[in-house]
Amino acid sequence: MRATKVRLLLKYSKCRVESFRRLSDTTQQRFPVNRGDFNRLNDGHRMYFQQLLGNNRILTEEDDLAKYNKDWFGFVKGSSQIVLKPKTTEEVSQILSFCNENRLAICPQGGNTDVVGASVPVFDEIVVSTELMNEIIDLDENSGVIVCQAGCVLENIDKKLEASGFMVPLDLGAKGSCHIGGNVSTNAGGLRLLRYGNLHGNVLGLEVVKANGEIMDCLSTLKKDNTGFHLKHLFIGSEGTLGFITKVSLQCPPRAKSINVAFLGLQNFDKVLKTFRKAKEDLCEILSAFEVMDFSTIEFSKDTLGITSPIGNYPFYLLIETSGSNSEHDADKLNKFLDTVLEKHLALNGTLATEPTKVNVSTNIHRCIQGGIN
Ligand SMILES: Cc1cc2nc3c(=O)[nH]c(=O)nc-3n(C[C@H](O)[C@H](O)[C@H](O)COP(=O)(O)OP(=O)(O)OC[C@H]3O[C@@H](n4cnc5c(N)ncnc54)[C@H](O)[C@@H]3O)c2cc1C
């Protein structure tokens, strides 16, 4: 389905970051890539899609297509002539089956926040967007398992979970725009991977449409499922190359009642590693994030985002987050940890944020930096 895209990604990895420029040229003008042997969209194809989805769920005007043809950072640009917005698995199945029979290439697209140009067409692939597949189907308040369509925005899932005392197990800078189907397709990690692991563990099941339109129902909601092969793993991180994810079943942890954040300045990377080991030993079950930034990262953020270090200049910085159920206990533990790393000269300076607003400011620094640097 997306062999061209895979080749382009390989090409990308060889590019130096400096060579990325915000150009008006399309990807095919900038890179020596060859279009596959696919048919071009014609009136007959357009008519089929109109009959299937109606006029309101098809975009063909250049202005409307622009945002689907360009990636988040404006580094790559495709020239798709049509965007399709199915609402149901059956519609996705019919689209893929038709495209397969008519040799039309497609590009699955979620929130289009991908940072390697994989979410936009390289040539004139048909964009199949999950924008309207945004229904939360079920939330089991005993197990914390949520089942939803692939186009649910990560932050909206989190808001839904909040009312029942749960949270999504992943948190990233793009959470207000990215879709859960896109997260699964990229095996997105994010800030809390250290605590909750990656999506191979948190995704309990998937519903997927294969390139020929066949619907695969692997939408298990059972955590301790030891039956047969777990085909879902093939689709986690496969970036739409093996199938189109339509539904996701996700195991969600209880929402933390207390979140604390420490921001530290360190002399060198060796001390970063030693502090990491110490954090795992001392903070143990409440450690939820451990993120490293170097001096250039913070300097760059100062210039581009107006974000400065709250503790002065150091070669390395750490953002350490704890989350638990007892604020007094957690703050006490983090305070003792901070005292120890300062006494042992692992860290040169540090500050704590225990009030929710300050915690948000600190973690937002990191989320903004992710976006700004990219
Ligand atoms: C500010 C910022 C911070 C980020 N932070 C992180 C981070 O901390 N960790 C991290 O891992 N990533 C991070 N990312 C990148 C991350 O991969 C994406 O944000 C997100 O996971 C992609 O979701 P999306 O819905 O935007 O997918 P898209 O960008 O639309 O698509 C991503 C890929 O998945 C495919 N795809 C999308 N939907 C489907 C589907 N339903 N079925 C099959 N294939 C599909 C697309 O074809 C494409 O190849 C960040 C991005 C930004 C902009």
Written as one letter, the residue type at 134 is N
Looking at 223, 251, 279, which one is the last position of a domain? Answer: 251
Which of 12, 95, 106, 113 maximizes ligand 1 atoms within 8 Å of its Cβ, making it the mutation to test the pocket?
113
Please check whether residues 322 and 242 belong to one and the same domain: no
Q: CA-based diameter of the chain, in Å? A: 73
- Cα separations in angstroms, 167 against 9, 196, 202, 345, 349: 32, 11, 12, 36, 32
Give the residue, by CA position, lying nearest to ligand 1 atom 36: 182
- Cα separations in angstroms, 203 against 15, 54, 93, 198, 216: 33, 33, 22, 9, 16
Please check whether residues 234 and 276 belong to one and the same domain: no
- Tell me, what CATH number does 29's domain have? 3.30.43.10
Report how far ligand 1's centroid is from the alpha carbon of 336 (Å).
Answer: 38
Single out the residue of 120, 138, 141 nearest to residue 129, CA to CA: 120
Q: Which residues contact 142 (CB under 8 A, 6 or more apart)?
A: none
ipTM surpasses cut 0.95: yes
Looking at 75, 106, 129, which one is the last position of a domain? Answer: 129
CB atoms within 10 A of CB 57: 18
* Residues 323-335: tens digit of each pLDDT: 999 999 999 999 9
Which of 114, 152, 216 maximizes ligand 1 atoms within 8 Å of its Cβ, making it the mutation to test the pocket?
114
Please check whether residues 179 and 142 belong to one and the same domain: yes
Which of 67, 183, 186 maximizes ligand 1 atoms within 8 Å of its Cβ, making it the mutation to test the pocket?
186
Distance (Å, whole) CA 86 – CA 130:
7
Please check whether residues 354 and 273 belong to one and the same domain: yes
Please check whether residues 56 and 111 belong to one and the same domain: yes
Beta-bridged to residue 248, according to DSSP, are 148, 206
Q: Please give the residue that has the higher pLDDT: either 302 or 144.
A: 144
Q: Map tokens 């910085």 to a residue.
A: 317
Ligand 1 atom with least separation from CA of 243: 43
* Residues 158-189: tens digit of each pLDDT: 999 999 999 999 999 999 999 999 999 999 99
Q: Which backbone phi and psi does 126 adopt, to 5 degrees?
A: -75, 125
Report how far ligand 1's centroid is from the alpha carbon of 124 (Å).
Answer: 21
Domain extent for 81: 3-129
Please check whether residues 7 and 125 belong to one and the same domain: yes
- Tell me, what CATH number does 309's domain have? 3.30.70.2190
Q: Which residues line ligand 1 (CB under 6 A)?
A: 72, 107-115, 118-119, 130, 150, 172-174, 178-179, 181-183, 185-186, 188-190, 239-240, 244-245, 370-371, 374
Q: Percentage of residues in the chain with pLDDT exceeding 90?
A: 75
Q: In the structure encoding, which two tokens stand for residue 218, read together?
A: 């692997």
Q: How confident is the model at residue 12 (pLDDT cuts 50, 70, 90)?
A: very low
* Residues 280-302: tens digit of each pLDDT: 999 999 999 999 999 988 888 77
Q: Where are the alpha helices (DSSP H) in the chain?
A: 3-14, 27-30, 43-53, 62-69, 89-101, 154-162, 180-186, 193-196, 199-202, 232-235, 269-283, 295-305, 327-343, 356-373
Ligand 1 atom with least separation from CA of 181: 41
- Cα separations in angstroms, 77 against 42, 105, 190, 247, 371: 22, 16, 26, 28, 19
Q: Output DSSP code: residue 179.
A: B
What pLDDT is recorded for position 3? 39
Res 355 pLDDT > 70? no
- Tell me, what CATH number does 153's domain have? 3.30.465.10
Contact 165, 254 (CB under 8 A): yes
Please check whether residues 161 and 241 belong to one and the same domain: yes
Please check whether residues 314 and 263 belong to one and the same domain: yes
Distance (Å, whole) CA 253 – CA 251:
7
Please check whether residues 88 and 147 belong to one and the same domain: no
Q: Map tokens 């001390």 to a residue.
A: 271
Please check whether residues 105 and 185 belong to one and the same domain: no
Ligand 1 atom with least separation from CA of 245: 42
Total domains in the chain come to 3
Looking at 84, 99, 129, which one is the last position of a domain? Answer: 129
Report how far ligand 1's centroid is from the alpha carbon of 174 (Å).
Answer: 8
Report how far ligand 1's centroid is from the alpha carbon of 182 (Å).
Answer: 5
Report how far ligand 1's centroid is from the alpha carbon of 362 (Å).
Answer: 23
Single out the residue of 335, 342, 331 nearest to residue 266, CA to CA: 342
